[in-house]
Chain A
Amino acid sequence: MKEIEGIANCPEQQVILYVEKEDGKFGPIQTGSYLSANYLDDYFYKRKNLELSLRKRVINGEISLVYYYMVLVDLSISELASRAGISRSIVKKHFEPKHFGKCSVEGLRKYAKVFNVPIANLLQIVLINMDDHLESLFILENKTRNISIEQNSTNNPYLSVSKIEERGK
């Protein structure tokens, strides 16, 4: 690949590519990620649709939030079970709301750690009103144009503190 062909404008995601330089030598250049520069909007579009379809199923009582997060963070059942230290068969049971009720608080803590969310978020979906629709806090990565929401863990393993702040203040 010639140097000119490797250039992409994406300051948020820089990569090193090895290319053919003008003198014929091969070497590294620092440039932007081609995919992120050109297709990131499509990634977020699909992600929002996926979250919305999963959210509907959670609200309808078809699935639990364990399943919701597992799909959103792209884990297999085996990998989730191994990471949480819970057997695969129990994890599968926890996908159904009727069995999810039997999950202990310690079990919730283990899942929450894998998904990197507060335990409370395994029992609720926080939505933010965005102009004409409701968007999930998880998808918004805890911020909008006007507010930011920090959900911090504490020394108490079963408590997180949520702070809502107007942005820019």
Chain B
Amino acid sequence: MIIENFKHKMAAHCESGTITSLLNHAGMQISEPLVFGISSGLFFGYFHKMKTFPFPTFIVRNKPGQMRINITKRLGTKFNESSFRKNDEGARKLDDLLQHNIPTAAQVDFFYLDYVPSWERVHINVHFMVVIGKEGSNYIVSDSYFPEPVTLKSSSLDNSRFAGGSMSPKGFIFHVADIPSSVNYKAAIIKGIKNVCFNMLRIPVPFLGVKGIRLFAKKIIEWPNFARDTEHLSHEIMKINILLEDQGTGGAGFRFIYATFLQEAAEILSKPELSGLSRQLMEIGDGWRELSLFAARIGKNRDLGPEKLKQLSGLIQNRAEVEEKFFTELNDVIKRV
């Protein structure tokens, strides 16, 4: 069986895409940029030494799962959520929901999804997708990174829902329980923007927000010390491009989707200044993209000497400067609304 009236749609990001699809299915017409912006998805964090990661890395979005929590608080939507200690209980609950025609989002480890090309498959426990049907021993999945719904073996889904490690999904699933009859979008947008400005400018942690971008710029020069050899360093430097462009960001580490959100917000709040800021952020995003293409190029050419890394560091440092200015201005504008 398959939930016939569920409309599969590609999205920039798995979590905002999944939430958008579920809300749209439940009758709430809302765009992915609005979901992303209201839930304060934009973020930056740099992790130089963390046991979870084999190499220094960074993130460009808020904590996985936080988007759903923020949307619930700010839009008044309700989700039914379940986690499981036993795999078979998790499978039974999912099958039961599908039997009742309820599209159900699942948190999974990306590594076991056999429909994903091999070069994309990595162990990361925070991918979200919507399960929309089951045929024999295969599930039908609406994964927002794919143009059409895909099929997934039940054993693969089981492995991915119950993978261990950091942020283990523990079979986590959720579905829409209720949507409000009316929503105060203005208040939700203002809260979402204020939260992002706080996270980027004032969060008191030295590796998060704009401070995190500065730390990234400073520390990337030390990356050769962590690499096995030049090819390893090349791989990690090219991963900057993957994290900013390819891993479900909508381009430029979510800056483009956030610019789109600000354009929508300008209309809803009748605040033309936000429209100007959205253009500014699009340009800032172009700078991130330039940086990520530079990383891909020097990685491919194995041109990874100290001078090139310094140049890359300079490009990152420059993003910190422009983003500090941008979010300060955005914060001032939103405070006056």
Contacts and interface: CB of A to CB of B under 8 A. Distances in A.
Interface of A: 1, 6, 12-20, 25-28, 30, 33-36, 38-40, 42-44, 46, 49-50, 73-79, 82-85, 113-114, 116, 141, 153
B15 interface: no
Contacts of A113: 159
Contact of A6 (B155, B251, B257): B251
Interface in B227-278: 231-232, 234-235, 238, 241-242, 245-246, 248, 250-252, 256-257, 259-260, 263, 278
20 contacts: A13-B246, A14-B10, A15-B248, A16-B12, A17-B251, A19-B251, A30-B147, A33-B246, A35-B238, A35-B241, A38-B296, A39-B299, A43-B235, A50-B232, A75-B123, A79-B166, A82-B165, A83-B163, A114-B164, A116-B112
Nearest to A30: B10
Contact of A116 (B52, B159, B251, B259): B159
A79 B52 contact: yes
Given A76-B51, A78-B51, A1 B282 contact: yes
Nearest to A88: B51
B245 A35 contact: yes
Contact of B164 (A6, A83, A141): A83
A18 B165 contact: no
Contacts of A83: 123, 163-165
Interface in B49-74: 51-54
Contacts of A85: 164
A26 B120 contact: no
A30 B52 CA distance: 33
A139 B21 CA distance: 36
B11 interface: yes
Contact of B123 (A15, A28, A73): A73
B286 A18 contact: no
A26 B278 contact: yes
Given A12-B117, A79-B165, 5 more contacts: A1-B282, A42-B300, A46-B235, A78-B51, A116-B159
Contacts of A79: 51-54, 123, 165-166
A13 B299 CA distance: 21
Nearest to B111: A116
Contacts of A19: 251, 256
Q: Is the interface of B mostly helix, strand, loop or mixed?
A: helix
A27 B256 CA distance: 9
Contacts of B10: 14, 16, 30
A70 B146 CA distance: 28
Interface of B: 10-12, 32-33, 51-54, 111-112, 117-120, 122-123, 144-147, 155, 159, 163-166, 231-232, 234-235, 238, 241-242, 245-246, 248, 250-252, 256-257, 259-260, 263, 278, 282, 285-286, 289, 293, 296, 299-300
A1 B54 contact: no
Contacts of B285: 1
A79 B168 CA distance: 11
A161 B228 CA distance: 35
Nearest to B301: A42
What are the 9 tightest A-B residue pairs by CB atom distance, in nearest-first order? A78-B51, A18-B256, A26-B260, A83-B165, A76-B54, A83-B164, A17-B251, A16-B12, A18-B250
Contacts of A26: 256, 259-260, 263, 278, 282
Contacts of A27: 260
Contact of B260 (A14, A18, A40, A116): A18
Contacts of B259: 18, 26
Given A1-B282, A17-B251, A85-B164, A74 B122 contact: yes
Of the candidates B242, B251, B282, B300, the one having the most CB atoms from chain A within 10 angstroms of its own CB is B251
A18 B54 contact: no
Given A1-B251, A79-B123, A79-B166, A73 B52 contact: no
A114 B112 CA distance: 9
A43 B119 CA distance: 8
Of the candidates A12, A30, A75, the one having the most CB atoms from chain B within 10 angstroms of its own CB is A75
Contacts of B123: 73-75, 79, 83, 114
A49 to B, nearest CB: 6
A77 B242 CA distance: 23
A17 B250 contact: yes
